[in-house]
Amino acid sequence: MNDILLQVKDLKQYYPVTTKEQGKTFVRALDGVTFDVKRGETLGIVGESGCGKSTMGLTICKLIEPTDGQIVLDGEDITKYGRKQMREIRKKIQMVFQDPYASLNPRMSVYDIVAEPLVIHKLFQSKEDIDARVIELLRQVGLDAYHAKRYPHEFSGGQRQRIGIARALAVEPQVIIADEPVSALDVSIQSQVLNLMCDLREQYGLTYLFISHDLSVVEHISDTVGVMYLGSFVEMADKKSLYDNPVHPYTQALLSAVPKPDPRERKEKIILSGNIPSPVNVPKGCKFHPRCKYCTDICKEAVPERTQISDSHYVYCHRAKEFAK
């Protein structure tokens, strides 16, 4: 069995726009991302809002068609698959969204929400079998059988996210793309939902693509972490290397802002100058150069190549070797 479950190669998502300054041009929401995810692994994707991480989730799930690049799931190239072929593939790849309330139909009961994928994919023939599976799924996410008759508005945010997870689990997917699944929840509820996701990963051997702007949340759940900036990865590493030895100046700045309860672990906060440039007007050379205090002439001209720091750690920065400990 292939160890790699999901392969993404040079994936692009460009939207045509017209601006006063440039005329017809493109928003480069996703600008050539490449990565592999191993079976059973959790890849955390972090970055500020607008960096392209949510677009990446939607594009991999083919809820929006990619402009270019390739998506290979379990050895099958699904890049050009149409709606009919994707219906089969959706049994393998599911999404959990940030806002559980918006992603659950308020007019459907919890039973109907969780049963819907079972019916669409004809996974069970009899009503009794569907009933039993719905109850089983609700129990697996920490809800009770009587919840099936209720409607989304009768639940708390955490419970609604549990319903969203039960719906995603219904088809027994291999991969779940979770886009900011706990961002809308209180901190105490966040850890309950994260722990549930960890338990389900163990139980079902799930593979997660976990998208979040919150580095503490990503650290909790991920094996590998990729940092995105303006539609591309700037650094990817196993969790320990990334959090202990961040190399890219952008990763260093993001990590310096994470609150640490232990004062000995606290680092001086790195304040980045300026804001993320518009994806319509992507800076030449290293996209991060207008905000980087280490910028040199080459950074303004040439796009950095991938620099390997170790087997499981790579960085896109001209000065990566200097910055690596």
Rounded to a whole number of angstroms, the minimum distance from the CB of residue 289 to ligand SF4 is 4
CB closer to ligand SF4 out of 227 and 299:
299
Based on CB atoms, which residue is closest to ligand SF4, 34 or 252?
A: 252
Shortest distance, position 224 Cβ to ligand SF4, whole Å? 21
Shortest reach from residue 303's CB to ligand SF4, in Å: 9
CA distance 321 to 215: 24
Residue 202 vs 305, nearer CB to ligand SF4: 305
Kindly report the number of other CB atoms within 10 A of residue 84's CB atom: 7
User: Which is closer to ligand SF4, CB of 220 or CB of 289?
Assistant: 289
Smallest gap from residue 300 Cβ to ligand SF4 (A): 8
With respect to ligand SF4, which residue has the nearer C-beta, 101 or 294? Answer: 294
Nearest approach, Cβ of residue 19 and ligand SF4 (Å): 25
Q: What single-letter amino acid sits at 189?
A: I
| Minimum distance from residue 309 beta carbon to ligand SF4 (Å) | 13
Could you tell me how many residues make up the chain? Answer: 325
Number of helices (H) and strands (E), helices first, in the chain?
A: 12, 12
| C-beta separation of 109 from 121 below 8 A | no
Q: How many CB atoms lie within 10 A of CB 235?
A: 28
> For residue 193, what are the contacts with CB-CB under 8 A and spacing of at least 6?
158, 161, 162, 165, 181, 182, 185
- Give the residue from 189, 284, 254, 243 showing the smallest Cα distance to 53: 254
CA terminus-to-terminus distance, the chain: 36
Question: Closer to ligand SF4 at the Cβ: 276 or 317?
Answer: 317
Rounded distance between C-alpha atoms, residue 13 and residue 318, angstroms = 25
CA distance 143 to 138: 5
Closer residue to ligand SF4 in complex, CB, 162/287: 287
Q: Minimum distance between the CB of residue 57 and ligand SF4, rounded to whole angstroms?
A: 25
Spatial separation of the C-alpha atoms in residues 234 and 45, rounded to whole Å? 11
Cβ 203 to ligand SF4, closest distance in Å?
Answer: 41
Residue closer to ligand SF4 (CB basis): 162 or 291: 291
d(CA 83, CA 72) in angstroms, rounded, equals 16
Contacts to ligand SF4 by CB under 6 A:
248-249, 286, 288-289, 292, 294-295, 299, 304, 317-319
- Please report, for residues 161, 266, 286, 315, the alpha-carbon distance to residue 321 in angstroms, rounded to integers and kept in the order given: 42, 24, 16, 9
CB of 315 to ligand SF4, least distance (A): 8
213 vs 289, beta carbon nearer ligand SF4:
289
Q: 47-58 burial string, b = 16+ CB within 10 Å, else e? A: beebbbbbbbbb
